[in-house]
Structure 1
C-alpha cells in the first residue's frame, strides 16, 4: 500500500465521516522504519478498554473483548491482543479496514508493525566479568562477587535459550514464545543463549545462580516484530516472579508502543535493561533504547574505550563490556562463542541488577537503577560519544550505595493481614511491596508502625507510587502511618517505604475484608461486550459504545440495558441512512431494564441510553454482527 494511495483513500473517508458525528476525527497512523506489509498495532484510548491489572469497577470492557469486536466490525484479521503492558492489539488489515480503524474514536493511534532484531556482531576473547568488579585497569584476572542471586528471576527477551546447556543446569524457569515455528522457547540462533550466559551462566555469568526465564520473541534469523516483542513483555508483566530483571538485547526503529510497553513492564516491578544499539549513532533514534523506563547500556572494549559500533547520546545510561565477550552458545550443551555488541554489554548490567536485588529483594526499579548509576565507575571511558554519561558499570556497590538495606525487609508480595516485621532502610532508600485485592473486598488498610528513625508510606493502585504520584501519603513524623480505603478497587495495590531518614525495626501490614460469596447476576448473553455509564437525571443520555458509532455487517443487533431500580431508563438504536441518523429500534418500558433485538443491513450504528426519569449508573451489553 503506497502512502499516496492511503492519503487519497483517507481524504474521501474524512468527508464522509464529517457528516456522521461532529466529533469524529481520524487517529494518527505512525510509521515504522521496516514495516510489515498490512500488519498494524492498534492502540486504544484509556477510556476505551481496561488492562487486566486495572479495576473492573471502572466498568470498561477488557482489551481482548474490544479487540475482537473492532476487528470483526472493521473487517480486519485479529492476530493477538495485549492485556498488561499495552492497551491494544495486532491486526492484518487492508486499506479499507485500516481506514475504519483510524476513524474509530476508541483508537488513540495505529502504528505499523515493524521488524526488530538482535544487536550483536562476531569477534573474539573473555574479559567482561573481570572488568565489572574493579574500578581501574589493568585487569586482575579474577571476578569477585558477594552473592550468586539464587533468589532473583531473570527474563531473557531474545531468541530463546538452550535450556539444556551446562551453564543453566537446574535453573530454567517457565517461559514464553511469540515465534510459531514449533520450537517453543529453544534457541536456534545462539544470541539469546549467549545473553543468558552473561546474565546468569554458572561460568560466564554475573549472577551465577539466578533463575533464567526464556522469552522467545526473535526467530532463528535473529529478527522478529514489534508486536511479538510487546507480546513477550506482556507475558512477563503477567507472569513475573519478583524480584525480577528483564534483559532486552534487541532493537529497531523508534516505536511509541514498544516504549510504552517497557514502561508498563517496569510498573509491574520488573527492572528493565536494554541494549543501546550497534549503529554508532544517537541511541535516542531507536526503541527500546530510547525508553526512559529502561537502563540503556552502551558497549566498551577491554581498554575502556567506547566500542566503535556502540550507540551513544543522552538516552544511554551506563556502559559495560561488550566487545569480544565469551559466553554460552546454542550448538551443544557445552558450546561457547565470542561475539561483540551492545547485546553483550546489556546482560552484564542485567546481571549486576540481579546482584543488587539479591541483597535488596524489595527494591523498586527506581532504586535498582539509582544504585547502578551511583555505584558506576566515573570518567574511565574514552570517546564516550556526544551526550553520553562517562559511567562504567560496577558490580560490588561499595557497601551498598543507594541500597534499601534492611534486616528481614524482604519486600515483594504481602498477604492479607500478615505483618512484615523488622524492616529497615537508609535515608532515601525505596522498598517496594504489593498486595492483590479481590474485587468486592472492603476496608483496605495499609499501615506501618514501630521501630526507630523515619519511614514514609506511599500507596498507589495499579502502578508503583513515586514521591510525586500516589493515592495516599500520610505525611506523619516517625513510623506510625496508615492509609485506608473503604471500597478498594480489585487488583494490585502498590506500596513503597521510603527513608525520610534511616529507619529500622518497622512493621508493615496490609489487610482487607474479603468479599462476600455469591452476589449479582452475570451478563444476559454469552460472548457479548459490556459497557457502563451513568445518567444525571431526566433527559440526560449517553451514546454507546463508548461515545461513538460502529460499523457492522448484515445481521442482528442485540442490546440489554440494566439501570437503577428507582429510575426509568430507555434504550434506542440508530442507523446512518446516508445523510442523517435514524432511530431504527426502541425499548421504553416503565422500568430501567430494556432489551432490543434488531435485524438490519450492513452500515453504521450507535446505541443511545437515556433517562425518562431518575439518575444513576447503568450496564449495557451488546452483541452485534
Structure 2
C-alpha cells in the first residue's frame, strides 16, 4: 500500500498503460475483447508492491460490499473497504489484478503508495498574530470573536494526545487505520501539533472547536495511501454537524486520493490540505492537487514564501508555516516549534471552523469562497510561479461589502492613522450594561475599518467590527459592564478620522 507522509509529497507517480494479448479460439470469429479498468503504478521508491486501491465508478459506493465479496471469491485478501467513498484496498497477484480490472463496476485501480508528514525546524511563535491583520508589522495580539464552538475538526494525521492541556474537554472519539496497538493516540507528535494550531486554547485559531483524531500515519510519521483513504472514508461516513478536515500530509500524485477528497467534500466536509514541502509545483502531488480542497502554502514571519513551500496553480492561498509553536505529544503540557506546509494548513482549517460556527449549514464551496474572498492580496514575496498571491485573513472579510446602517453616536474623538496600521481611538469603562455605538468617518479616498474590543484579564478581544469598503463604518453592540476600546485600521490610505460613539 502507498505510504503517506505528513504535509509533504515525495514520489513521482506515472500512469502506465497496460496491454493484454487475448487468446482466441480457432473458430471463424474471435471473442470480443475485454475492456480493462485503467491501472496506475508508482515509482519504486514510493510503491507498496502487491497492494492496490480499487475505486468504483461514481454512484456505485453502495455496491462496495458486494464487489469486495466477489474479489474474495477469487482468493484476494481485502484490507479495507471504503463504503462511502466507494472501493477497497487489497493485496493481490498479477492474475488476480487482471480479473479485478475486468469488473465493469471498477473505475480504475491504483497501486498503493507512501505518504509522509512534514519536516521540522526550530523557531518562534507568530502565526496567530499575523492572520488577524492585513499587513505587517505584527502587533502582539490575536483578535477573534467566534471560537469554533459547535464545529468538529477532523485531524487526518498521526493521531492526537487527547489528554494534552490544550484540548481539555474538547476531543471526541475518532478512528485509526494504523494497526500498531496505539489506537488514535499520537506517538509521533505531528498530529498533536496540527491540532494545537487548529484548536488549542493557547496556540489555536478556533479555541472552542471539537477535535477528532483520525489516525492514518504511524509513529514514524508515514503510512499508506490506502490507509489515508480509509480515514477519509470514515470521516465521510461519520461526520456530523458543521465539519472541517485537516490533511497535513502528502505523497505522490494519486487519483484515488483526489477522488476520495472530492467525495468527502460532496458529503459536506470542508477540507484543508498541505501544498507540500519540496519547493516545487504542488500540482505534482496529492492531496495538494485535489480540486475540491483548500490547498495551503507556507510563509515566513516576513510575508515571504517559505523556502520549502510548494507553489503553483493548485495552491489556493498561503498561511504562516515557518517556526510555528504548538502542542506536542511528549507530555500533557509539551510544546514544539516546527515548520512546514503542515503547520500552515491548520491555520486555514481553524479559520474555516470560525466561519462554520456562524454559518453551520454552509457548503464546503461556500466556506472556501468566504476564506479566499476575504484573503489579503499582494503581500507575499516570491509566491512562486503560478501561485495566487493571497494570504489568510481570519476575520473573513475583504474590506469590501456593504456598510452597516448608521447608528446614533454622541461623543466625538479625532485622530489619524497611517496605511496598514492600527490606532486606538478611545478607551472607556462602562458600569452599566446596554448598547455601545460607534460611527467612523475618514477621507473619501481611504478604506478605514472600525473594531470594538473588550478587555478580558490582560487581553483585548474584538467583540464587534465594521469592515466595509469605504472610510465610513458603524458598529452597534449590546455590551455587558467592563472596559472597552475602539480601534481604527487603515486598510488602504492614510489620514485623519472622526469617531463618534455612545456608551450605556
Corresponding residue number in structure 2 for 1:516: none
Is residue 2:240 matched to residue 1:241?
A: yes
Give the direction of change, closer, same or farther, for the CA distance of 1:101–1:143 in structure 2 (3 Å limit): same
1:66-81 map, 5 Å = 66-73=67-74, 75-81=75-81
1:242-261 map, 5 Å = 242-261=241-260
1:124–1:324 contact (8 Å) kept in structure 2: yes
What are the superposed Cα offsets for residues 339-369 of structure 1, whole Å, 9 maximum, x if unpaired? 0000000000000010111111111111110
Corresponding residue number in structure 1 for 2:390: 391
2:184–2:215 contact (8 Å) kept in structure 1: yes
Corresponding residue number in structure 1 for 2:177: 178
Give the direction of change, closer, same or farther, for the CA distance of 1:110–1:20 in structure 2 (3 Å limit): farther
CA distance in 1, matches of 2:262, 2:206: 24
Corresponding residue number in structure 1 for 2:50: 38
SS of the residue corresponding to residue 15 of structure 1 reads coil
1:541-580 map, 5 Å = none
Corresponding residue number in structure 1 for 2:161: 162
SS of the residue corresponding to residue 311 of structure 2 reads coil
Q: Larger relative contact order (C-alpha < 8 A, sep ≥ 6)? A: 2
1:179–1:218 contact (8 Å) kept in structure 2: yes
Give the direction of change, closer, same or farther, for the CA distance of 1:402–1:159 in structure 2 (3 Å limit): farther
SS of the residue corresponding to residue 215 of structure 1 reads strand
CA distance in 1, matches of 2:307, 2:93: 42
Corresponding residue number in structure 2 for 1:580: none
CA distance in 2, matches of 1:345, 1:302: 12
Aligned residue pairs total 384
Give the direction of change, closer, same or farther, for the CA distance of 1:268–1:20 in structure 2 (3 Å limit): farther
Cα deviation for residue 23 of structure 1 reads: 5.0
CA distance in 2, matches of 1:234, 1:339: 29
Corresponding residue number in structure 1 for 2:64: 63
For the pair shown, which has the larger CA radius of gyration, 1 or 2?
1
Cα deviation for residue 10 of structure 1 reads: 6.1
2:54–2:87 contact (8 Å) kept in structure 1: yes
What are the superposed Cα offsets for residues 160-210 of structure 1, whole Å, 9 maximum, x if unpaired? 000000000000112000000111000000000000000000000000010
Corresponding residue number in structure 1 for 2:469: none
Cα deviation for residue 121 of structure 1 reads: 2.2
Corresponding residue number in structure 2 for 1:99: 98
Corresponding residue number in structure 1 for 2:13: none
Cα deviation for residue 32 of structure 1 reads: 2.2
Q: TM-score, normalised by structure 1?
A: 0.59
Corresponding residue number in structure 2 for 1:51: 61
Corresponding residue number in structure 2 for 1:15: 23
CA distance in 2, matches of 1:9, 1:310: 35
CA distance in 2, matches of 1:229, 1:173: 19
Give the direction of change, closer, same or farther, for the CA distance of 1:51–1:104 in structure 2 (3 Å limit): closer
Is residue 2:313 matched to residue 1:305?
A: no
2:304–2:380 contact (8 Å) kept in structure 1: yes
Corresponding residue number in structure 2 for 1:443: none
Q: TM-score, normalised by structure 2?
A: 0.73
Give the direction of change, closer, same or farther, for the CA distance of 1:99–1:203 in structure 2 (3 Å limit): same
Is residue 2:367 matched to residue 1:368?
A: yes
Is residue 2:27 matched to residue 1:26?
A: no
Q: Structure 1: 5+ residue runs without aligned partners?
A: 1-6, 53-61, 406-625
**CA RMSD, 1 decimal:** 2.2
What are the superposed Cα offsets for residues 463-492 of structure 1, whole Å, 9 maximum, x if unpaired? xxxxxxxxxxxxxxxxxxxxxxxxxxxxxx
Corresponding residue number in structure 2 for 1:568: none
1:156–1:213 contact (8 Å) kept in structure 2: yes
Cα deviation for residue 71 of structure 1 reads: 2.9
SS of the residue corresponding to residue 397 of structure 1 reads coil
CA distance in 2, matches of 1:276, 1:119: 11
1:261-410 map, 5 Å = 261-398=260-397
Corresponding residue number in structure 2 for 1:197: 196
CA distance in 1, matches of 2:298, 2:165: 27
Corresponding residue number in structure 2 for 1:434: none
CA distance in 2, matches of 1:379, 1:38: 47
Give the direction of change, closer, same or farther, for the CA distance of 1:80–1:203 in structure 2 (3 Å limit): same
1:71–1:91 contact (8 Å) kept in structure 2: no
1:244–1:271 contact (8 Å) kept in structure 2: yes
Corresponding residue number in structure 2 for 1:548: none
Cα deviation for residue 119 of structure 1 reads: 2.4
1:504-515 map, 5 Å = none
